[in-house]
Structure 1
């Protein structure tokens, strides 16, 4: 499988703080890959660096082209979507207006329509005329996921989509991720909930202290108690 996103020897910095130490990672077309690890090990920094939001050196290639050093909007227009942990919405605009703002390609040729979003998350259709700032945290997460998808990306980097969500919201988010795979959208998922990540991923990476400490299949990670104890379990 050729790599859609290929990260090689990536180093990233916040000021003088060296956060990523030579990370290698790849995601193939249509593949769900989870990036696991405790808080503070550099997972969010990795996706921000790939999206042009953190100073970095090394190589980040997307669809065969080097994107390191490009602006975030330039990267997005190439088909790399990013859903930040902060669930950024336009609070004074309605749900539907937020979704329509996400469109980056010709609406007639994109793979996704408003109806697709509403079928995945019926609650958004119920709230389509409500200002996004009035939504619950779970509803805002649904909206952020769908707004990014309206841009018709080929790969989505999603940072902690289930963080802080009620259990009844977590299941629809997991179904959303599987729906992406069914339509050929690749996903790099940063996730704390090990069960979800192992259930939906083809491969997993584990990060520790700014470096990759494990790469393998979900089954290999299930069987490797040493890695789970040292790098994942609290």
Structure 2
């Protein structure tokens, strides 16, 4: 589904990604691991057309590089940024409504409001509350759910558990399992190895703007050299 080849990305004159290459298959969860500053978030932003990039990003055979973020989203690629980016003056329910694809209103959606509220009970309790007064964990849940309401076939999730209390981390784990069961493809950027290793079909390790390891979670567990050099703090 997603094929990234020889991807280079830049912030001004700063060359951040150096020939990144990987794939995410249909119904597959792939985790992108690495230390802060390794280029993981830049990879997500380059795929979504949010930073200057060169190379190739194919989605179902169609080139994404050069397209605007909203055009990429309309092709079925969802993005959950680390910054969450809720609409603070709108209620929880209104935020979810904004994420809903217009085509859903005339056909049967893959994901419904009821699904979101069942998955994340705190959102149901606060569905009429302005998103700006929610806790960080609740805002993260809302952003995850709003992205799903857009019916993506691939969802890129950047650091969903960053700064969350343990109970909200558990909700994120439930969310990821739901995605896996639904057949939605996922590119997960995550610091907590326990979550990434437990949910992923394959893992990628990034260092200095390039992929330094690719394989199954069990292969990474067995490769202490990669963990020591590229993951341990």
TM-score by length of 2: 0.98
Q: State the 1:105 CA deviation.
A: 4.0
Q: State the 1:223 CA deviation.
A: 0.6
- Asked if residue 82 in structure 1 is aligned to residue 79 in structure 2, the reply is yes
Deviations for 1:92-148, whole angstroms, at most 9, x for unmatched residues? 000000000001242223201000000100110000000000000000000000000
Which secondary structure does the structure 2 equivalent of 1:229 belong to? helix
State how 1:23-172 maps to structure 2 within 5 Å: 23-107=20-104, 108-172=107-171
Contact 1:105 1:152 in 2 (8 A): no
Q: Distance in 2 between the 1:91 and 1:172 partners?
A: 22
Q: Distance in 1 between the 2:45 and 2:143 partners?
A: 16
Q: Distance in 2 between the 1:200 and 1:176 partners?
A: 11
Q: Distance in 1 between the 2:178 and 2:2 partners?
A: 20
Q: Distance in 2 between the 1:14 and 1:110 partners?
A: 38
Residue 185 of structure 1: aligned partner:
184
Aligned residues: 231
Q: Distance in 1 between the 2:60 and 2:145 partners?
A: 23
Q: Distance in 2 between the 1:223 and 1:158 partners?
A: 26
- Asked if residue 176 in structure 1 is aligned to residue 175 in structure 2, the reply is yes
Where has structure 1 moved over 3 Å in runs of 4 or more?
A: none
Over the aligned positions, Cα root-mean-square deviation in angstroms equals: 0.6
Q: Distance in 2 between the 1:110 and 1:153 partners?
A: 11
TM-score by length of 1: 0.98
Give the unaligned 5+ runs of structure 2: none
- Asked if residue 8 in structure 1 is aligned to residue 5 in structure 2, the reply is yes
Residue 214 of structure 1: aligned partner:
213
Give the unaligned 5+ runs of structure 1: none
Q: Distance in 2 between the 1:110 and 1:95 partners?
A: 19
Q: Distance in 2 between the 1:136 and 1:171 partners?
A: 16
Q: Distance in 1 between the 2:34 and 2:184 partners?
A: 24
Deviations for 1:20-57, whole angstroms, at most 9, x for unmatched residues? 00000110011100000000010000000000000000
Q: Distance in 1 between the 2:170 and 2:204 partners?
A: 22
Which secondary structure does the structure 2 equivalent of 1:106 belong to? helix
Residue 198 of structure 2: aligned partner:
199
